[in-house]
Chains A and B, each alone.
Chain A
């Protein structure tokens, strides 16, 4: 394992598998226990440095750190304009001076975790940066797929939605490819980045053509404001062409699952009856997120610096 987890490419296949296996062991070890706490990171300090509002991701990391007995500090810099407030570097150095061993950072600017990692001695975990990556989301998604389908090698995953602005898509493409899955990205052409052809994934504009072959359908959140920038004409047209509704779900294979990183726009990219169906792993994904983040924190912080 590298010292930081900044992007999915930081994990080679054995590292990624180690994270998933460790998460599975942690989950098994804690299942049914009254005391859901391990002493592993006692005396270590984890800072959640959140420049964007993301209650679910912050809580997931907070719970993961606390279950490993780390001290957790939540530093919410949300709303503080970077130009007016303390700079990211000053904040980072301050937190380090206070003895943080790891910083979990969520930031609206792509690359902020990379810069942070160049300024601090401790480990940095990217909890989502701009439109770049969100590697622990990809890990929990991979964990969920493996738990449901029993494998990742050769699993066909359709990632559907706003690929252009999605850090979840970027991390999943890289990580799932590393783990041997076959990813097909599906979106209107406006929501792919120029250069997507260089990614280890297939590209399709036709959801109906992709669904029958998919083992996993991962729906991405599509923000309504994309409409005003003419990425697509209307929410209704988007939903009709790229939304997952009961009719489309019916063409999926028997064991196929439906994923969503949340928060969902019910009625936009995913219909309510799909989100609540037995195929949906949305609640499992949340639960798995804690185990996976415990595994990441353990593997980054538990050991000696190599």
Chain B
């Protein structure tokens, strides 16, 4: 699998939506996570110990733990991991309905002055990330915040872009991207569902 450039601006997103079906297999997921771990090490340089990977539940949380484990394996440096539940920060509760809350757990050393990388499975509208940024603001004051996602499917509604992208996937808005992870779903897999109808340019 060819590596994708980090953070493709929307103007350069490929226009042809993916065909429905399996996008990443279990081994693809593992390879992508490994590559993202390498990118994190490379970009953090000598401040790797400053790094905190904060997953956005549900699937961002195990993804952050996997990334941290791989970074540690490749670099020998233990990486702090946390989760931040964004439910109470969403601006679309009225549309989505209420849901059960999930854990917010930060490392004992906190996030003040550190490099926080938010981790999520799919980057779509950007609203989850915005809610996560709001939540982080109430939890502390990081030196910088970056974003890592397994899949970027485009259709941003906010000026938000990812610093680390496992795979860019052009999609139709009507399609959905299903990320399944062993910790939550019993299996690693990414699928696109729904017809790949061309969007009006």
A203 within 8 A of B: no
Do A38 and B98 touch (CB < 8 A)? no
Cα A25 to Cα B94 in complex, Å, equals 20
Closest to B137 in A: A35
A18-B100, A22-B101, A25-B101 known; A39+B89 contact, CB < 8 A: yes
B88 within 8 A of A: yes
Cα A263 to Cα B150 in complex, Å, equals 54
Tell me the minimal C-beta distance from B85 to chain A in angstroms: 7
B contact residues around A35 at 8 Å (CB):
138
A28 within 8 A of B: yes
A-B contact count (CB 8 A): 55
A38-B89, A40-B88, A298-B88 known; A29+B97 contact, CB < 8 A: no
A contact residues around B139 at 8 Å (CB):
33
Tell me the minimal C-beta distance from B78 to chain A in angstroms: 23
Cα A299 to Cα B138 in complex, Å, equals 22
Cα A1 to Cα B100 in complex, Å, equals 12
Cα A298 to Cα B85 in complex, Å, equals 15
B104 within 8 A of A: yes
Cα A33 to Cα B106 in complex, Å, equals 11
Among B64-101, those with CB < 8 Å from A are 85, 87-90, 93-101
Closest to A299 in B: B98
B contact residues around A28 at 8 Å (CB):
103-104
Cα A39 to Cα B137 in complex, Å, equals 12
A235 within 8 A of B: no
A302 within 8 A of B: yes
A contact residues around B85 at 8 Å (CB):
25, 29
B contact residues around A21 at 8 Å (CB):
100-101
Per-residue CB contact flags for chain A residues 24-61 toward chain B (1 = under 8 Å, else 0) read: 01101100010101111000000000000000000000
A26-B88, A29-B85, A35-B138 known; A40+B93 contact, CB < 8 A: yes
Do B98 and A29 touch (CB < 8 A)? no
Do B103 and A304 touch (CB < 8 A)? no
Cα A283 to Cα B5 in complex, Å, equals 56
Cα A29 to Cα B134 in complex, Å, equals 14
A252 within 8 A of B: no
B102 within 8 A of A: yes
A25-B103, A28-B103 known; A38+B97 contact, CB < 8 A: no
Partner of A303, one of B93, B102, B104, B138: B93
Do A304 and B95 touch (CB < 8 A)? yes
A contact residues around B101 at 8 Å (CB):
21-22, 25-26, 29
A contact residues around B93 at 8 Å (CB):
40, 302-304
Tell me the minimal C-beta distance from A67 to chain B in angstroms: 10
Do B102 and A25 touch (CB < 8 A)? yes
Closest to A306 in B: B97
Tell me the minimal C-beta distance from B183 to chain A in angstroms: 19
Do B95 and A39 touch (CB < 8 A)? no
Q: Which 6 A-B pairs have the closest CB atoms?
A: A303-B98, A25-B101, A303-B97, A40-B88, A302-B98, A38-B88
Q: Report which A residues bind B (CB closer than 8 A).
A: 1, 18, 21-22, 25-26, 28-29, 33, 35, 37-40, 68, 298-299, 302-304, 306
With A26-B101, A33-B138 known, 7 other A-B pairs at CB within 8 A are A21-B101, A22-B100, A25-B85, A28-B104, A299-B98, A302-B98, A303-B99
| 30 residue pairs bridging A and B, Cβ less than 8 Å apart | A21-B101, A22-B100, A25-B100, A25-B101, A25-B103, A25-B104, A26-B88, A28-B104, A29-B101, A29-B104, A35-B138, A37-B138, A38-B89, A39-B88, A40-B87, A40-B88, A40-B89, A40-B90, A298-B88, A298-B98, A299-B98, A302-B93, A302-B98, A303-B93, A303-B96, A303-B97, A304-B93, A304-B94, A304-B96, A304-B97
